[in-house]
Amino acid sequence: MTPPHSQPSELLKGTLDMLILKVVSVGGPIHGYAISQRIRQISREFFQVTQGSLYPALHRLEERGLLDAEWRDTPTGREAKFYKLTRSGRKQLEVEMSDWEKMSDAVALILRTAH
Amino acid sequence: MSISSRIRHFFRRRREGRASDDQHLDSEMQFHLEQQTADYIAQGLDPAEARRRAALQLGSTVAITEASRDTRWETHLEHFLQDLKFATRVLAKAKRSTILAVCALALGIGSSTIIFTVMYNGVLHPFAYRAAERLTTLHVLDPANPTGEMRAVFHLDEIAAFREKNHTFEDIVGYANWFVLYSHDGIDEQLHGGAVTSNTIEFFGMPPLAGRGLIASDFNADAPPVVMLNWRLWNSAFHDDPSVIGKQITLDGVAYTIVGVMPRRFQHLGADVYLPTPWDTPASAAHSDFRRPTFFWATGILKKGVTAKQANDDLTAIAESLQARYPKDYPKVARMGTQLLNEAIVGDLKDTLILLIAAVVLLLLIACSNVAGLLLAQASARSREIAVRSALGASRMRLVRQLLTESLALAFAGCVAGCAIAAIGAKYVVAAMPPGRIPWDADVTLNRSALLFAVSVSLLSTLLFGLSPALHAIRGDLATRLVSVGGMGTAAGAGSGARFRSALVACQIALSILLLITAGLSLRSFYALTHVDLGIDPHNVLLADVQFPAGQYATSDTKRKFFNDLLVRIDAIPGVTHSAELVGSVLLGSPDGAITIPGKVHSEEWDTNADVVSSDYFAALGLRLLKGRLLTPADEDSARLVTVVSRAFADKYFPGEDPIGHSVKFNFFDQLPDSPRDAYFEIVGVISDLHANGPKEPIPPQMYVPYTVTGFGDRSVVVRTAIPPASVVNDVRRAVSAIDHNVALVTPRPLEENLSDSIYAGPRFSMLSFGLCASVGLLLAVVGIFSVMAYTVSLLTHEVGIRMALGASRAHILRMVLGYGARIIGAGVVLGLAGSFVVARAMRTEVWGVSAFDPATFITVALAVIAIALLATYIPARRATTVEPTIALRHE
């Protein structure tokens, strides 16, 4: 069964991976909970990333070699899994971002001009 | 992830194990939960509420763990293995349907693999030679001639010229065959000799099995005579004895040393012995020793990338230079033509094989829909299991995968069993095929390509029979199935699943009708062909050719003396009732030509078969005298110009008249050596007809003249026996040798066997193969309808119980169930008959002596299928009427 998707706005398929990569690329080694919080904050509460899609996505990215993970202590002394970008992850992020920009430009263009 | 880190990853996981992997996942979730809780507390919630909210937000950790785990590739393999284990358990539990399914698949996969093997290894790729796919035969074309081909044989120096001057062939060989007499143990045996050129061994690229191949020095004019053996001769005459190498055998009176034996798949020319023929063998054919061939065939290996047109142009340019040397052997404007050897093989077997491929595809479809029906019934019965698994978190994809794995396991079992069937069956199919259609060079076994085919067909059929039941099983709201505790009696069983199953059964019936009609038409053709009254009884008749040494017994007088003596000796053999001489063969070719009858005026040419026979011929074959008299020994002795004609002859050329006393001239005699010139034969008798040109052709007019009137022609003997004719062969052979040791009796053959091989074998093969496909198809369809009806009845138990409790009679219930089955059967029959008209159209070339739309066949097949299918419905329907209402209702 597919896990229920987040409300209010469901992420476009494929964009979650990009957002995760982006957040990880900015925030350095960062754990899953922090990633979900960052996405929520940055998007001004627009994207709710549920754990049901976040953790499979993290593991998929790790499996594909785009993220690297290691267990280390948090400032509170609790052990957590920290993710950081690999070199191919950075490349992938660049590709996805440029694709995304192209696409959103195109969509915006259509929305502006096609009356 | 780089390969190395992937590997590192894998081993780390292996080391840490899945449990620790999941543990990590758990602690990651746990960490998430704690952080969230802490945040909520920081926002001012009380700890208990914070924990509750955080937990709510996180959702099912099990589902997340499952989903995260799914991202790993090992998981897929693991799932597959798990599914496979589960599948075997499920299949082992449902023994009856598993066995049925595996049998159905084995038959479907097995039969298609057999036909593939025969087609691929026997017809499309029969040769194991070097560059077999580029082997090309050469011939001269006459563009002015409507049929095109002029000759496919050449003088050896022509082939040598083509070989030296061409630019499009890697190499060209010349070869010819003729009969050689092999003298051993006091008898002369006829062997097929193959004259081969010096490049033959390298050309075919096949090393000898034992000894050596023919080498350049063997082809020198003064080289000692050597011979290379074909594997078949080595196997049959020398019992695979490797010590024959270096020994001598006598061929045509000359001692040859055996230098080598070729492997089984070297069957060039089909010759028994290969004899070196130098390229510079004189073209005049003035061989003093024995009858060596004067004309040769030519086969080349096309260079890679050369097209047929390029080769033809190249050869045509060379042919133009040869035209001056052999002006008579070329048309005014000559073209050279080529044909790929592989393409030449397919020939007239093609139509039958294409139909047969269609038949096994139908059979495979029946098998697949059969198995699909079984799986569908099973899936419906398992709908609750599937609902439970879904409720426990299995995704639809996961369920489909698991059901497909079961199908795959079935297909694998079917594939193994099917290959076993094919391995044995292919041998029988090849044996049943008309002789001479599959080259001896072919190796029709279950080799790599055949196995690959079987595996592909199995995978394909997995999708064919597995996918729709799997998709069907996960359709709709799985959760509601849990609610309906009664389960199968309701929506799941009787709804769209039932419709789909019925459609499958209807298809099986339709497909088996197609097969049955094909089989029925072949059977009718074969019956029609074998029941043509040949005019003679072919049972207990021996035919054999008499081979005289070159240049001897060339006159009618010497032949008369020889046969006078021989026929008396043959008649004296115990078991022989009559013997006679003839030219040609009985029922498989007589001399024929134009005739002249004085006093008759006609515009079109009149012709007849003319048999040159001894006086006992009529008695030997059992032809009946209708009028006048037969030929007598006195006619023979004085070579009288008298003739006996057949009834067809009399009816055609003397309608309403008595032909006796009239005379007739066989014009062809004027052109033959040692034959009567401008001779008119007096008709002395009329005799019963025979199908001299075979049962498929109309009865030709026929005349018989005493064999002593001409010295021309190779002679044969026909012997009527009271015992199996094969048992007198050696006695006849001894009778021949006793008169002259240099005369040989060759190719002895019982007439019945001869007819069977040449006339009946093709239709018999069609009948047997289509019949087998149809029987298997019908069996599968019957099993299909039986199991679907049995299953439907089991679903209806509850309904039947209610109906009976409400007062329905048993007859009523029986009618209800039978009616349900009859509707399916009716739909299948209508569909099948409609499709059969298309099939019958394709069958037209295969059918003989009966219309391809033969109503009797169509009606019989339809009625038989309806009857058998109704019976298969009746048995489960009967069971439905035995339901006890009280028990059926308690079923709830």
Closest residue of chain A to B30, computed from CA coordinates: A80
CB-based burial label for B535 (10 Å; 0-12, 13-18, 19+): buried
Cβ–Cβ below 8 Å for B25 and A33: no
| Cα maximum dimension of chain A | 58
Which of A32, A56, A60 faces B32 most closely, judged by CB atoms?
Answer: A32
Q: Is A90 on the interface with B (CB under 8 A)?
A: no
Q: Which residues of B touch A31 (CB under 8 A)?
A: 28, 31
pLDDT at B14: 52
Q: Would you place residue B147 in the very low, low, confident or very high pLDDT band (cuts 50, 70, 90)?
A: low
Closest residue of chain B to A79, computed from CA coordinates: B31
Averaged pLDDT of chain B:
85
Q: Which residues share a beta bridge with B192?
A: B179
CATH number of the domain at A101, please.
Answer: 1.10.10.10
Q: How far is B44 from chain A (nearest CA, A)?
A: 18
Q: Which residues share a beta bridge with B174?
A: B298
Q: Which residues of A touch B10 (CB under 8 A)?
A: none
Q: Which residues of B touch A1 (CB under 8 A)?
A: 63, 390, 393-396
- Of residues B348 and B51, more confidence is placed in B51
CA B153 from chain center: how many Å?
Answer: 30
Residue B846 to residues B248, B509, B518, B525, Cα–Cα distance (Å): 49, 24, 10, 8
Per-residue model confidence as pLDDT tens digits over B75-113: 777 778 888 888 888 888 888 888 989 999 999 999 999
pLDDT at A5: 40
Whether residue A7 is contained in a domain is answered as no
- Is pLDDT above 70 for B684? yes
Closest residue of chain A to B37, computed from CA coordinates: A33
Distance CA B827, CA B831 (A): 6
| Cα maximum dimension of chain B | 139
Q: Is B20 on the interface with A (CB under 8 A)?
A: no
Q: Which residues of B touch A63 (CB under 8 A)?
A: 1, 71-73
Length of chain A: 115
- Residue B681 is classified by DSSP as E
Q: Would you place residue A1 in the very low, low, confident or very high pLDDT band (cuts 50, 70, 90)?
A: very low
Pairing of strands B149-151, A79-85: unpaired
- Is pLDDT above 60 for B545? yes
Pairing of strands B248-251, B254-261: antiparallel
- Is pLDDT above 50 for B286? no
Q: Is B400 on the interface with A (CB under 8 A)?
A: no
Cβ–Cβ below 8 Å for B395 and A56: no
Provide long-range contacts, Cβ within 8 A and 24+ apart, for B732-741.
B732/B542, B732/B544, B732/B570, B732/B573, B733/B187, B735/B566, B735/B569, B735/B570, B735/B573, B736/B546, B736/B566, B737/B186, B737/B187, B737/B188, B738/B569, B739/B562, B739/B565, B739/B566, B739/B569, B740/B562, B741/B188
Which residues 32-51 of B are in CB contact (within 8 Å) with A? 32, 34-36, 39
Distance CA B801, CA B885 (A): 4
Which residues 8-47 of A are in CB contact (within 8 Å) with B? 31-34, 36-37
pLDDT at B648: 94
SS (H, E, C) B825-865: HHHHHHHHHHHHHHHHHHHCCCCCCCCCCCHHHHHHHHHHH
Between A and B, how many CB-CB pairs are < 8 A? 77
pLDDT at B288: 42
Length of chain B: 892
- Is pLDDT above 70 for B488? no
**Tokens at residue A79, please?**
């052990």
Whether residue A1 is contained in a domain is answered as no
Distance CA B381, CA B404 (A): 17
The structure tokens 């940055």 sit at A42
Whether residue A70 is contained in a domain is answered as yes
Q: How far is B58 from chain A (nearest CA, A)?
A: 6
- Is pLDDT above 80 for B22? no
Whether residue A10 is contained in a domain is answered as no
For residue B12, the surrounding DSSP H or E stretch is helix B3-42
Cβ–Cβ below 8 Å for B59 and A65: no
Cβ–Cβ below 8 Å for A31 and B57: no
pLDDT at B483: 59
**Tokens at residue A30, please?**
């960062």
Which of B25, B57, B72 faces A63 most closely, judged by CB atoms?
Answer: B72
Which of B35, B60, B68 faces A33 most closely, judged by CB atoms?
Answer: B35
Residue B777 to residues B748, B780, B862, Cα–Cα distance (Å): 42, 5, 14
pLDDT at B857: 92
Cβ–Cβ below 8 Å for B2 and A64: no
Cβ–Cβ below 8 Å for B68 and A79: no
Whether residue A60 is contained in a domain is answered as yes
Domain assignment of residue A83, given as a range: 15-113
Nearest alpha-carbon partner for B411 in B441, B378, B371: B371
Q: Is B31 on the interface with A (CB under 8 A)?
A: yes
Q: Would you place residue B540 in the very low, low, confident or very high pLDDT band (cuts 50, 70, 90)?
A: very high
Q: How far is A102 from chain B (nearest CA, A)?
A: 27
pLDDT at B347: 63
| Phi, psi (deg, nearest 5) at residue B46 | -80, 150
Cβ–Cβ below 8 Å for B68 and A31: no
Q: Is A73 on the interface with B (CB under 8 A)?
A: no
- Is pLDDT above 80 for A85? yes
Per-residue model confidence as pLDDT tens digits over B417-456: 999 999 999 988 888 888 777 888 888 888 899 999 999 9
Whether residue A41 is contained in a domain is answered as yes
**Tokens at residue B550, please?**
């070159």
| Phi, psi (deg, nearest 5) at residue B451 | -65, -40
pLDDT at B479: 64
Closest residue of chain A to B2, computed from CA coordinates: A65
Per-residue model confidence as pLDDT tens digits over B151-198: 888 888 899 999 999 999 999 999 988 888 888 887 777 888 999 999
Q: Which residues of B touch A86 (CB under 8 A)?
A: 1
For residue A71, the surrounding DSSP H or E stretch is strand A67-73
Nearest alpha-carbon partner for B744 in B176, B252, B254, B294: B252
Percentage of residues of chain B with pLDDT beyond 90: 36
Which residues 648-707 of B are in CB contact (within 8 Å) with A? none
Whether residue A106 is contained in a domain is answered as yes
Q: Which residues of A touch B59 (CB under 8 A)?
A: 3-4, 50-52
Q: Would you place residue B291 in the very low, low, confident or very high pLDDT band (cuts 50, 70, 90)?
A: low
CA B642 from chain center: how many Å?
Answer: 49
pLDDT at B652: 93
Q: Which residues of B touch A71 (CB under 8 A)?
A: 24
pLDDT at B202: 93
Cβ–Cβ below 8 Å for B64 and A80: no
- Of residues B403 and B646, more confidence is placed in B646
What integer is the mean pLDDT of B187-213? Answer: 90
Q: Would you place residue B487 in the very low, low, confident or very high pLDDT band (cuts 50, 70, 90)?
A: very low
Query: Comparing A98-107, B142-151, B258-267, B356-365, which segment has the lowest mean pLDDT?
Result: B142-151
**Phi-psi group of B362: left, alpha or beta (phi > 0 → left; psi -120 to 50 → alpha; rest → beta):** alpha
Whether residue A40 is contained in a domain is answered as yes
Query: Comparing B311-325, B372-386, B418-432, B639-653, which segment has the lowest mean pLDDT?
Result: B372-386
**Tokens at residue B63, please?**
């589902």
Distance CA B602, CA B830 (A): 55
Pairing of strands B642-646, B226-229: unpaired
Closest residue of chain B to A55, computed from CA coordinates: B68
Distance CA B110, CA B108 (A): 6
Closest residue of chain B to A86, computed from CA coordinates: B1
Q: Which residues of B touch A40 (CB under 8 A)?
A: none
Q: Would you place residue B287 in the very low, low, confident or very high pLDDT band (cuts 50, 70, 90)?
A: very low
Say which residues have a Cβ less than 8 Å from residue B604's Cβ, sequence separation at least 6: none
Nearest alpha-carbon partner for B302 in B113, B171, B434, B477: B171
Per-residue model confidence as pLDDT tens digits over A57-76: 888 888 888 888 888 887 77
| Phi, psi (deg, nearest 5) at residue B245 | -60, 125
Alpha helix (H) residue ranges in B166-239: 200-204, 231-237
Q: How far is B496 from chain A (nearest CA, A)?
A: 24
Contact B767, B525 (CB under 8 A): yes
- Is pLDDT above 60 for B724? yes
Say which residues have a Cβ less than 8 Å from residue B169's Cβ, sequence separation at least 6: B136, B162, B163, B300, B301, B302, B303, B306, B311
Cβ–Cβ below 8 Å for A50 and B36: no
Q: Is A60 on the interface with B (CB under 8 A)?
A: yes
Per-residue model confidence as pLDDT tens digits over B857-888: 999 999 999 999 899 888 888 887 887 777 76
CA A1 from chain center: how many Å?
Answer: 22
Cβ–Cβ below 8 Å for A55 and B390: no
Q: Would you place residue A3 in the very low, low, confident or very high pLDDT band (cuts 50, 70, 90)?
A: very low
Q: How far is A104 from chain B (nearest CA, A)?
A: 29
Per-residue model confidence as pLDDT tens digits over B124-144: 888 889 888 899 999 888 887
Q: Is B25 on the interface with A (CB under 8 A)?
A: yes
Q: How far is A64 from chain B (nearest CA, A)?
A: 6
Number of independent structural domains in chain A: 1
Q: Would you place residue B290 in the very low, low, confident or very high pLDDT band (cuts 50, 70, 90)?
A: very low
pLDDT at B832: 94
What integer is the mean pLDDT of B689-713? Answer: 88
Q: Which residues of A touch B29 (CB under 8 A)?
A: 51, 55
**What is the CB-side half-sphere exposure of residue B472 using CA atoms within 13 A?**
25
Contact B628, B660 (CB under 8 A): yes
pLDDT at B18: 56
Closest residue of chain A to B61, computed from CA coordinates: A52
DSSP string across B270-285: G-SEEEE--TT--TT-
pTM of the complete model: 0.72
Q: Is A114 on the interface with B (CB under 8 A)?
A: no
Which of A4, A32, A56 faces B71 most closely, judged by CB atoms?
Answer: A56
- Is pLDDT above 80 for B60? no
